Structure 1
């Protein structure tokens, strides 16, 4: 069995301070084989916020990969956003914006979906898709990890990432089995499985630490891969409660080639 722990949207600088230590304790207690962080480590991409985020990540005991989110580049300093959007990320977090994690029979390819020209929306290029596809390993569960979702429910009022529909088709036909994303601060798993028998399971994480009251809760998830079977544990901390509740469990299987609730 291989365990992946998925964190997203930490938003240091606007984090739920009282939840930082309980989150870190649970992350380390999970003993994951790999922690994947899908962006928005900071709230406004400031140096002090990156220092907070980096200090938090250093305390995670498992191997870790992270990709940027739109909040991790400057918003108001347009010259910095256009000319050197990832300077602070590279100094504090990692030089590589599209890292790879390979543990057991699971391979996670990071994709930088941030678009400095369109701060919130995000984009994925054909070249990025080609890199993911070229690295697919047939004997692995191949996962793409990026900040922006590749599909959204109709009620979501944010623009879908540029290039997402074409990228999703390429991923599906070439062998990506699962996509990890964040951005919306809304948990979703398996929401798009009924559409034409889609072979990709999309996991959209909620926010792990953002203190925005409208989010209502913070959360993270672990994903345990055992052959064709997947067990997901969702850990939720409502805003009006002091910590995380016991986890909810969901199970999926892809014995038929498509992910199904087990």
Structure 2
């Protein structure tokens, strides 16, 4: 078992999952690795931030990657991702994000989700045991139709929902792992950021609540948040690539689940990412405001 020392500021304390033995998960979301420049996603720093996230993951029991491993789905971006993953000394699994799968509006030929599945997962959907905890990974970036090729949005879909209904009853401590979100942030009541929650969120939440799922991990939004769905609690991981350039260190044990924020950038690098967000499109400015209001006085910088 790895050392359970403090990794960063406490983001949330959850009553469940609660297990007799301790388990520590490194949660990495939205590294958007690409050979690009600028943009609010700080593309020119994406590889370096991903490398830092993987270095921290090696102090944990397991690395969980919540999708958008690449920023563009190109073959060379995946090659960079795979080079980084080769440095991991702990087990890891991933789910695909919307930028990891082909889109109709791409200007290049992307890898099919089957290629992602073969390289980064034990099969989609999947279960993976980490001690007494079972990670339940699902694909929200593609489905049995072609509809998701036209949007950044996501869907669980009827086939996967049936699989969840069949699989979850046999699991003691399931943690659902997905890219898109199960709900909107409170500041988004009108759905102005419509592509963040899956479009069958209500039906999926009902299945998870019926089967007493305590925790869902998602990425995609780039905003660290905890959403209470009156059943499962959803922890939305921050983006590795863009402000606040962070990951999560989640410890599950006898007293419940602690969620810690792990900053991946120093003061100069954080200021740079903030400038890019401030100068970005309206979505970037809105997410910056959401992040600042959520994290308040929490330290967002590492000593690196």
**TM-score of the alignment, normalized to the shorter chain, above 0.5:** yes
Greater Cα offset, 84-93 or 10-19: 84-93
Structure-to-structure mapping, 1:44-123, within 5 angstroms = 44-75=72-103, 76-77=105-106, 85-86=112-113, 88-90=115-117, 92-94=119-121, 96-115=123-142, 117-118=147-148, 119-123=151-155
1:16 correspondence with 2:37: no
Structure-to-structure mapping, 1:167-246, within 5 angstroms = 167-189=204-226, 191-192=227-228, 198-208=230-240, 210=241, 215-227=242-254, 229-237=256-264, 240-242=267-269, 245=301
- Report if the CA contact (8 A) 1:124-1:167 is conserved: yes
List alignment gaps of at least 5 residues for structure 1.
Answer: 248-262
- Aligned equivalents of 1:242 and 1:78: distance in 2? 31
- Aligned equivalents of 2:171 and 2:115: distance in 1? 37
Query: CA deviation digits over 1:33-92, x for unaligned, max 9?
Result: x211111000110000011111112211111110100000123349967xx732552565
- Report if the CA contact (8 A) 2:264-2:302 is conserved: no
Give the aligned length: 233
- Report if the CA contact (8 A) 1:67-1:99 is conserved: no
Secondary structure of the structure 1 residue equivalent to 2:70: coil
- Report if the CA contact (8 A) 2:95-2:120 is conserved: no
Give the aligned partner of residue 260 of structure 1.
none
Give the aligned partner of residue 7 of structure 1.
28
After TM superposition, give the deviation of residue 126 of structure 1 in Å: 2.6
After TM superposition, give the deviation of residue 121 of structure 1 in Å: 0.9
List alignment gaps of at least 5 residues for structure 2.
Answer: 1-21, 35-42, 271-299
- Aligned equivalents of 2:106 and 2:50: distance in 1? 29
- Aligned equivalents of 2:75 and 2:159: distance in 1? 30
- Aligned equivalents of 2:90 and 2:256: distance in 1? 23
User: Normalising by structure 1, what TM-score?
Assistant: 0.78
User: Normalising by structure 2, what TM-score?
Assistant: 0.68
* Greater relative contact order (Cα < 8 A, sep 6+): 2
Greater Cα offset, 161-170 or 232-241: 232-241
- Aligned equivalents of 1:192 and 1:22: distance in 2? 30
- Aligned equivalents of 1:127 and 1:154: distance in 2? 29
- Report if the CA contact (8 A) 2:95-2:121 is conserved: no
Greater Cα offset, 148-157 or 230-239: 230-239
Greater Cα offset, 87-96 or 69-78: 87-96
After TM superposition, give the deviation of residue 236 of structure 1 in Å: 2.0
- Report if the CA contact (8 A) 2:266-2:302 is conserved: no
- Aligned equivalents of 1:92 and 1:172: distance in 2? 31
- Aligned equivalents of 1:178 and 1:85: distance in 2? 29
- Aligned equivalents of 2:205 and 2:213: distance in 1? 9
Greater fraction strand: 1
After TM superposition, give the deviation of residue 158 of structure 1 in Å: 2.2
- Aligned equivalents of 2:83 and 2:245: distance in 1? 20
